[in-house]
Amino acid sequence: LNAPWPPQWPLSEPHRDLLFPGGARSEVMAVRFTSRIMRRLHATRAAPAAFEVPVLSRHVVTTIPTAHGSFDVAAYAWSADNTPKDHLALVYGDLSKAGDEGVLCRVHSECLTGEVLGSRLCDCGEQLDRSMAQVAAAGRGVILYLRQEGRGIGLVEKLRAYNLQRQGYDTVEANRLLGHGDDDRDFSVAAAMLEDLGVAKVRLITNNPGKIQALREGGVDVAERVPLLPIDVSEHNAGYLATKAERMGHLLENKETAAGGAGANEARRAQAKGGASRPLVAVDRAV
C-alpha cells in the first residue's frame, strides 16, 4: 500500500476504496494499538494474564452524503464482541488540523428504536442528529457509532426491559431484573478506533462521565466535555432522563427539566435556534 498512514482526513483517493478483510497489515496495526490499550487495562483493572488481546479490523472506507454534509465512513470489527458487529467512524473534515484543543468527538451507541423508529422513550435519535450537526458546524470532528444497543444488552433484551418499565420499573431496575448491569457497554473499541484514525486528544460530546473515564483508561486524552442537553423532554422520556441523571450520574444541567415541562422545552428550542442568550451546548473542562 502506497497511501500514508494514518490517513489524512478527509480521505485522499488512495484510501477511499481500500478493503481490509483481516489481512496482514490490518491485523498488525490492530495488535499494535489494542496492545497499548490492553496494557493500560491490565494496569488499572488487573486483567488475567491469559487475557487475549482483542483485535480491531478496518474493513472498508467510503464517503456518504448526509443532511449535515458528507462524512467519510470507516467500518470496523472488534474481536472482543460476543457476537459479530460492525462499528462505524463518521469523519468530517481534516482531523489533523484540530490543533492542541483536540478533535470534537461523539461516542454514540446504537439505538434502533430511537434512531430508526422514532421512539419517544429516549433521546438517542436527537443526540445523534445534533452531534452530526455540531461536528459539521465545527468544520471537523468524528462520531463513533458503536453497535451496543440498549447500553450493551441487545435489542431483544431492551424490548423486554421496556415491558418492565411499563410495569413501573425504571431503566436501571429493568436491566437488573433481566440479569444485566446498569451499563454493559465496552468503550475500549472506541479508544482503538480513535487511535486508528490518528486521534489522541478529544473534546467529547457527552453527558456521561463514565465515557470520559473509559476513554482515558484506553489512553485517550479527553481535554473537554461538551454537554448535549435534551431538547424534547416529554411524558414519554422524562422518567428515563431523570433516571440517567439521578441513578447513573449523567450530567444534565437542569435536572428539573426531566419533569417534562413545556416551558423548559420551549426554552431549549429557543436556545437551539439562537433565540436565547445562554448557549444550549456549554463546554466544561474535563478534569
Going by their DSSP bridges, the two strands 87-92 and 69-78 should be labelled as antiparallel
106 is catalytic: no
221 is catalytic: no
Q: Is 156 helix (H, G, I), strand (E, B) or coil?
A: helix
- Return d(Cα 126, Cα 230) in angstroms, integer: 8
Q: Is 145 helix (H, G, I), strand (E, B) or coil?
A: strand
Closest CA to 229 of 178, 175, 174, 284: 284
Q: How many residues does the chain have?
A: 287
Catalytic residue among 185, 203, 225, 268: 185
Q: How far is CA 85 from CA 76, 81, 127, 148, 230, in A?
A: 8, 7, 22, 9, 28
Q: Which residues pair with 63 in a beta bridge?
A: 72
- Return d(Cα 26, Cα 57) in angstroms, integer: 6
Using the CB atoms, write b or e for 3-24: b if 16+ within 10 Å: eeeebebbbeeebeebebeeee
Closest CA to 187 of 46, 36, 81: 81
Residue holding cell 461538551?
A: 226
Question: Residue 260 region, left (φ>0) first, then alpha (ψ -120 to 50), else beta?
Answer: left
- Return d(Cα 126, Cα 106) in angstroms, integer: 13
Catalytic residue among 183, 203, 225, 268: 183
The answer to whether residues 173 and 163 touch, using CB atoms and an 8 Å cutoff, is no
Positions annotated as catalytic residues are 183, 185
